[in-house]
Chain A
Amino acid sequence: MNYLSSTDLRTVKVLEQAEFPSKVNARNKVVEDTAKLIKELGIKDNAVLSFHHHLRNGDYVLNTIMKEVQRQGIKGITLVASSLFPIHAEMIPLLEDGTIENIVTSYISGDLGRAISYGKLKGKIIMQSHGGRARSILNGEIEIDVAFIASPSADAHGNISGVNGHNTCGTLGYAIADSLKAKKVVAVTDALVEYPNYPADITEDYVDYVLVIDCIGRKEGIVSGTTRVTRDPVGLKIAKDTLKVMEATGLLKEGFSYQSGAGGISLAVTAFLKEYMIENNIKGSFASGGITGHLTQMLEEGLFSALFDVQCFDLESIESLKRNPNHIRMSASQYGNPEVSAVVDKLDFVILGATEIDVNFNVNVTSGADGVLMGGSGGHQDTAAGSKVSIIVSKLFSSRIPVIKDRVDVITTPGTTVDVLVTERGICVNPLRTDLIEAFKEAKLEIVDIKELKEYSESIMGKAKPIEKTDRIIGLSQYRDGSIIDYIYEVKR
Chain B
Amino acid sequence: MNYRTLLFIPGNNPGMLQSSDILGADGIIIDLEDAVALTEKDAARILVREYLLTFKPEGNYFIRINPLDSPYFYDDLEAIKDLDITGLVLPKASVESMAALEDYLDKNDLDFEVIALIENAMGLETALDIVRASKRIVGLFLGAEDLTLDLGAKRTKESKEIEYARSKIIAAAKAAGIQALDTPFTDTDDLEGLKIDTRNAKDLGMTGKTVISPRHVDIINQVFTPTQEEIDYALRVVEGVKGAKEKGLGAFSLEGKMIDAPIIKRALNVLKTSGDYKEEYDELLE
Q: A and B bound?
A: yes
What residues of A have a CB within 8 angstroms of the CB of B214 in the complex? 233, 236
A234 and B20 CA atoms in complex are apart in Å by 9
Interface residues of A in 422-448 (CB under 8 A from B): 424-425
A472 and B177 CA atoms in complex are apart in Å by 73
Known: A424-B19, A460-B55. A231 touches B215 (CB 8 A): yes
Are the CB atoms of A233 and B215 closer together than 8 Å?
yes
What residues of A have a CB within 8 angstroms of the CB of B54 in the complex? 460
- A493 to B: closest C-beta gap in Å: 31
Are the CB atoms of A233 and B55 closer together than 8 Å?
no
What residues of A have a CB within 8 angstroms of the CB of B19 in the complex? 233-234, 237, 424
A425 is contacted by which of B16, B22, B215, B218 (Cβ under 8 Å)? B22
Please tell me if B240 contacts chain A, counting CB pairs below 8 Å.
no
Q: Mark B190-218, 1 if CB is under 8 A from A, else 0.
A: 00000000000000000000000011001
A240 and B54 CA atoms in complex are apart in Å by 27
A233 and B54 CA atoms in complex are apart in Å by 22
Please tell me if B226 contacts chain A, counting CB pairs below 8 Å.
no
Are the CB atoms of B24 and A237 closer together than 8 Å?
yes
Q: Mark A209-240, 1 if CB is under 8 A from B, else 0.
A: 00000000000000000000001011011001
A424 and B20 CA atoms in complex are apart in Å by 11
A356 and B110 CA atoms in complex are apart in Å by 45
Q: Mark A163-192, 1 if CB is under 8 A from B, else 0.
A: 000000000000000000000000000000
- A93 to B: closest C-beta gap in Å: 40
Determine the residue in chain B with the shortest Cβ distance to A233. Answer: B214
- B38 to A: closest C-beta gap in Å: 27
Interface residues of A in 235-250 (CB under 8 A from B): 236-237, 240
Please tell me if B285 contacts chain A, counting CB pairs below 8 Å.
no
Interface size, chain B (Cβ < 8 Å): 10
What residues of B have a CB within 8 angstroms of the CB of A233 in the complex? 16, 19, 23, 214-215
What residues of B have a CB within 8 angstroms of the CB of A460 in the complex? 54-55
Determine the residue in chain A with the shortest Cβ distance to B213. Answer: A233
What is the interface of chain B mostly: helix, strand, loop, or mixed?
helix
What residues of A have a CB within 8 angstroms of the CB of B24 in the complex? 237
Q: Mark B59-89, 1 if CB is under 8 A from A, else 0.
A: 0000000000000000000000000000000
Are the CB atoms of A237 and B55 closer together than 8 Å?
no
A234 and B55 CA atoms in complex are apart in Å by 17
- A225 to B: closest C-beta gap in Å: 19
Please indicate which of the listed interface residues B22, B214, B215, B218 has the most CB atoms of chain A within 10 Å of its own CB: B22
A425 and B218 CA atoms in complex are apart in Å by 18
A424 and B21 CA atoms in complex are apart in Å by 10
Are the CB atoms of A424 and B22 closer together than 8 Å?
yes
What residues of B have a CB within 8 angstroms of the CB of A234 in the complex? 19, 22
A240 and B19 CA atoms in complex are apart in Å by 15
What residues of A have a CB within 8 angstroms of the CB of B218 in the complex? 240
Please indicate which of the listed interface residues A234, A240, A425 has the most CB atoms of chain B within 10 Å of its own CB: A234
- A418 to B: closest C-beta gap in Å: 23
A35 and B101 CA atoms in complex are apart in Å by 82
- B277 to A: closest C-beta gap in Å: 21
Determine the residue in chain B with the shortest Cβ distance to A240. Answer: B218
Determine the residue in chain A with the shortest Cβ distance to B19. Answer: A234
Please indicate which of the listed interface residues A233, A424, A460 has the most CB atoms of chain B within 10 Å of its own CB: A233
Determine the residue in chain B with the shortest Cβ distance to A395. Answer: B19
Determine the residue in chain A with the shortest Cβ distance to B24. Answer: A237
What residues of A have a CB within 8 angstroms of the CB of B55 in the complex? 460
Are the CB atoms of B23 and A237 closer together than 8 Å?
yes
A486 and B67 CA atoms in complex are apart in Å by 60
Q: Mark B243-282, 1 if CB is under 8 A from A, else 0.
A: 0000000000000000000000000000000000000000
Interface residues of B in 1-40 (CB under 8 A from A): 16, 19, 22-24
A233 and B55 CA atoms in complex are apart in Å by 19
Are the CB atoms of A236 and B215 closer together than 8 Å?
yes
Are the CB atoms of B22 and A237 closer together than 8 Å?
yes
What residues of A have a CB within 8 angstroms of the CB of B23 in the complex? 233, 237
What residues of A have a CB within 8 angstroms of the CB of B22 in the complex? 234, 237, 424-425
Determine the residue in chain A with the shortest Cβ distance to B54. Answer: A460
Determine the residue in chain A with the shortest Cβ distance to B188. Answer: A231
A213 and B24 CA atoms in complex are apart in Å by 56
Determine the residue in chain B with the shortest Cβ distance to A238. Answer: B22
What residues of B have a CB within 8 angstroms of the CB of A231 in the complex? 215
Interface residues of B in 102-151 (CB under 8 A from A): none
A112 and B54 CA atoms in complex are apart in Å by 41
What residues of A have a CB within 8 angstroms of the CB of B215 in the complex? 231, 233, 236
A233 and B10 CA atoms in complex are apart in Å by 14
A236 and B24 CA atoms in complex are apart in Å by 11
Q: Mark A232-274, 1 if CB is under 8 A from B, else 0.
A: 0110110010000000000000000000000000000000000
A425 and B16 CA atoms in complex are apart in Å by 14
A234 and B19 CA atoms in complex are apart in Å by 7
Interface residues of B in 210-230 (CB under 8 A from A): 214-215, 218
**13 examples of A-B residue contacts, CB within 8 angstroms:** A233-B23, A233-B214, A234-B19, A234-B22, A236-B214, A237-B19, A237-B22, A237-B23, A237-B24, A424-B22, A425-B22, A460-B54, A460-B55
Q: A231-B215, A236-B214 are in contact. List 18 more A-B contacts (CB 8 A).
A: A233-B16, A233-B19, A233-B23, A233-B214, A233-B215, A234-B19, A234-B22, A236-B215, A237-B19, A237-B22, A237-B23, A237-B24, A240-B218, A424-B19, A424-B22, A425-B22, A460-B54, A460-B55
The 9 closest A-B CB pairs, nearest first, are: A233-B214, A234-B19, A424-B22, A233-B23, A237-B22, A425-B22, A237-B23, A424-B19, A236-B215
